């Protein structure tokens, strides 16, 4: 990704309230999540972030989770339709334990599985803010 494109994306995240980066990794496959995570960790305005349809895996989820630890404004996170597994779910669960701003997280159509969902459920015992959590189509089965 060019430096100009990185700066443009970073500026959007730092100044706008809602940023849609769905399927951005199909267009800009290299460096996007690092730029996004850096800006998410510093923004004071962003409330809605859409990173759906990006083939984001466990490493990507861990990168976003780390940024969320430093964020105090995001209210809605859409990371559905990616490739996040149980390890990525564990990273997100750690954030949900202490996050006081997220009210909606969309995690449908990933590969979280029963153990990842159990980890998230345990984390939610400490979360009084989250109002909507979408976990559809994650290979949860009867156990989840």
Q: What is the pLDDT of residue 29?
A: 56
Question: Quick one: DSSP state of residue 124?
Answer: H
The answer to whether 88 and 62 are in contact (CB under 8 A) is yes
Give the length of the chain. Answer: 144
What one-character-per-residue DSSP string does 32-91 give? HHHHHHHHHTT-SS--EEE--SS---HHHHHHHHHHHHT-S---EEE--SS---HHHHHH
Percent of the chain with pLDDT over 70: 93
Residues 4-33: what's their mean pLDDT? 85
Report the alpha-carbon distance of residue 79 to residue 116 in Å, rounded.
15
Q: What is the pLDDT of residue 144?
A: 46
Look at 26-40, 54-68, 101-115 and tell me which has the smallest mean pLDDT. 26-40
Q: What is the pLDDT of residue 143?
A: 55
Its pTM stands at 0.92
pLDDT band at 125; cut points 50, 70, 90: very high
Using the predicted structure, report yes or no on whether residue 3 has a pLDDT greater than 90.
no
Average pLDDT, the chain: 92
The answer to whether 65 and 98 are in contact (CB under 8 A) is no
Residues 118-129: what's their mean pLDDT? 93
């Amino acid at each position: 990704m060019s430096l100009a494109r990185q700066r443009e994306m970073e500026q959007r995240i730092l100044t706008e309230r809602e940023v849609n980066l769905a399927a951005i990794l199909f267009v800009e496959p290299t460096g996007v999540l690092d730029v996004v995570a850096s800006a998410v960790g510093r923004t004071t305005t962003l409330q809605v972030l859409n990173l759906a349809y990006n083939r984001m895996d466990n490493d990507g989820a861990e990168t976003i989770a780390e940024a969320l630890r430093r964020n105090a404004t995001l209210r809605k996170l859409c990371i559905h339709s990616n490739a996040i597994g149980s390890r990525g779910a564990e990273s997100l669960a750690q954030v949900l334990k202490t996050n006081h701003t997220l009210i909606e997280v969309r995690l449908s159509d990933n590969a979280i599985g029963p153990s990842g969902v159990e980890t998230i459920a345990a984390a939610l015992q400490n979360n009084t803010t989250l109002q909507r959590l979408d976990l559809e189509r994650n290979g949860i089965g009867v156990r989840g």
